[in-house]
Amino acid sequence: MRRDLAARGLLSACLLTGLLAASSAPALTDEELEPFLNAMAEIQRKYVDETKVDTATLLRKASEGVVNALDAESLVLDPAPPPGPAGPGFAIGVRGGLAHVIDVIEGGAAEAAGLKVGDHLLQVDGKDTGGEKRLEIERFLAGSAGSKVWLLWEDEDGTYREAQVERTATARPAWRRVVMPGAEFIQVFRLDEAAADQIRSDLASAPAAGGAVLDLRRCAGGDPDAAIALADALLPGGLEIVTGRGVNAKSEHRYEATRKSKPVGVPLVLLVGPGTRGAPEILAAALIHHRRALAVGKGTFGYAARQKDFALPSAGGRKLRLTVERFTAPSGICLTGTGVGAELSAGEALPRRIERELERTSLVGRLAERLFAAPPAAFDAAALQAGNLALSAQESKGKSVAERRGEFERAFQTAAEALVREAGLGVSRDTLEQARLTLISRVRVELAKRHKSPEDALVVRLREDPEAAMGLDLLRAVRRMSGAAQ
């Protein structure tokens, strides 16, 4: 794969040999090892319990000591395959020795159990996650489909929560195109080489007038080289994409966009958030810095480094995965720890109090069910059967757009209040008012999920997603402005 990149002229031959080949250090001298060797000899002679001092155990623990001192992405890889392909449906990132939940898969078991982005995962089946390597924690989480895993986590209020969650196999592609009116919409889940390659050709063939939204919010991994290659395709030659720093200052390398006749010019909006981690952060940092794209959403997780596997001699086929390069954005900020900020935010979510009330009462699901089963006169019954929520023809007749919107919201509020009253849900009128627009969006998504094809439901979900909607609006604005300029 690296050969391919080099063939494209992205990476110079000197870089390949200089930075990526395993460097070797001068052998350790007895003097340097003295504290270790003396300690080992003392232990073997005098430690109170004879059963704990055999050489193999002590040396294995010494190796573990070295690996534990490394960052959360550096570890000794277990040659055994993971215990199963399924999981509870969320992604983590490790920072400061803590496992942060950075993405919760919609409709998954973890979401149903109430796990949220921003929570801290504390235990998996009784095993502490504190200080563990990320891949180790992911190993705890993995298992066969249908098996159960017990989770303990701390939510944003500092409350400890626990749940037994069933593992399900989630086959997400590395990326997917969603056909949205007027724009390319690409969701990226894993920015690896194949994905980057296809996204590039997809963007290159997209009509320049339309623009594209690149949704990186659930992209928690990938390959730094893939991110660099995609950034290269989108940026004019000579611009800095990212700078990598190896074991010391001498091993610093600046990755630049290659000289080319014409970079892919389609207008771009990126969607980013705490679930954007690793390779996509490199891409986002470069595109934002050079004003090649606007970013909507929240700050990214803040981790970008390259790992490389080293064979461990006489370790039973085990390998050492080591962080060998850390990345610094063109702005000079080290991506790890800081991440990339979004320029535009789609606004605050509902207050947690209200979120919890909606959760407690399952209001969204109940409303969708009721509207579908017994459509109030104000709504279009036929549209509801198809999973759409719209004002009936009678109600909208002869009214302006603004009037229709007012009418729609009033009708929705009436339906919601009726449900709350009849089911005795105890949600206040105030709460309903405050949450109304969010509720409408979520009920629309829920109806689509229940009564539309998965593809169509996805379109509805993105249309009702404030960040995605903002991205599409921005592209529309870009189109209008460039149209006006012509």
Partner 1 sequence: MSAASSSVAADPDAAALKPLLGLIETVEANYAGDPPLRRDEVVKQAASGMVSSLDRYSEFLDQQKYKDLQEDTRGSFGGIGIEIGIVSGKLSVIAPIEGTPAFAAGLLGGDVIAFINGTPTDDMKIMDAVHRIKGPPGTKVVLTIQREGSPMRDVPLIRAIITPVNIRDTVLEASGIGYVAIHSFSEHTAENLYDALRRFKEGKLKGVILDLRSNPGGLLQEATRVVDLFLPGGVAIVSTEARDPAQRAKYYSSEKMEVPQFPLVVLVNEWSASGSEIVAGALKDHRRAIIMGRRTFGKASVQSITPVSIDKTQALRMTVARYYTPSHNEIHEVGIEPDVTLPASRYPPGMRRYFDESAFNRFAAEVLIAIGPAGAGTVWLDAGALKAGRLAPPGKGAAPEKVDGRIGVEFRRWADRQGWNETDEAWDELEDSVVEQVRIAVMRKVKGEESARRYAIEFDPQVRTAAALLTLSSSVPAAGRPR
Determine the 3-state secondary structure of 57 from DSSP.
Answer: helix
Q: How far is the CB of 49 from partner 1 (least distance, A)?
A: 8
The residue among 22 and 171 lying less far from partner 1, judged by its C-beta, is: 22
The residue among 162 and 310 lying less far from partner 1, judged by its C-beta, is: 310
Q: Which helix (H) or strand (E) holds 476?
A: helix 466-485
* Residue 196 in tokens: 């980057």
The residue among 4 and 42 lying less far from partner 1, judged by its C-beta, is: 42
The residue among 227 and 270 lying less far from partner 1, judged by its C-beta, is: 227
* Residue 329 in tokens: 């954005």
* Residue 142 in tokens: 């993995």
Q: How far is the CB of 30 from partner 1 (least distance, A)?
A: 8
The residue among 170 and 251 lying less far from partner 1, judged by its C-beta, is: 251
Nearest alpha-carbon partner for 289 in 255, 325, 334, 239: 239
Contact 156, 116 (CB under 8 A): yes
Q: How far is the CB of 74 from partner 1 (least distance, A)?
A: 7
Residues pairing with 191 in the sheet: 222
Report which residue type is found at 25. Answer: A
Q: How far is the CB of 456 from partner 1 (least distance, A)?
A: 46
Nearest alpha-carbon partner for 359 in 439, 423, 419, 421: 439
Q: How far is the CB of 304 from partner 1 (least distance, A)?
A: 12
The residue among 248 and 486 lying less far from partner 1, judged by its C-beta, is: 248
Whole-angstrom distance, CA of residue 108 vs CA of residue 149: 14
Question: Which residues sit at the interface with partner 1, rule CB under 8 A?
Answer: 22-25, 27-28, 31-50, 52-59, 61-71, 74, 245-248, 251, 305, 308, 310, 312-315, 320, 322-326, 334, 336-337
Whole-angstrom distance, CA of residue 129 vs CA of residue 92: 11
Whole-angstrom distance, CA of residue 14 vs CA of residue 72: 29
Contact 147, 167 (CB under 8 A): yes
The residue among 129 and 328 lying less far from partner 1, judged by its C-beta, is: 328
The residue among 43 and 349 lying less far from partner 1, judged by its C-beta, is: 43
Q: Exposure of 301 by Cβ count < 10 A (0-12 exposed, 13-18 middle, 19+ buried)?
A: buried
Whole-angstrom distance, CA of residue 17 vs CA of residue 19: 6
Q: How far is the CB of 92 from partner 1 (least distance, A)?
A: 20
The residue among 11 and 203 lying less far from partner 1, judged by its C-beta, is: 11
DSSP conformational letter for 222: B
Q: How far is the CB of 326 from partner 1 (least distance, A)?
A: 5
CB atoms within 10 A of CB 402: 8
CA 414 to chain centre: 37
Whole-angstrom distance, CA of residue 23 vs CA of residue 400: 71
Q: How far is the CB of 141 from partner 1 (least distance, A)?
A: 25
CA 159 to chain centre: 24
Q: How far is the CB of 323 from partner 1 (least distance, A)?
A: 5
Dihedral class, residue 267 (left if φ above 0, else alpha if ψ from -120 to 50, else beta): beta
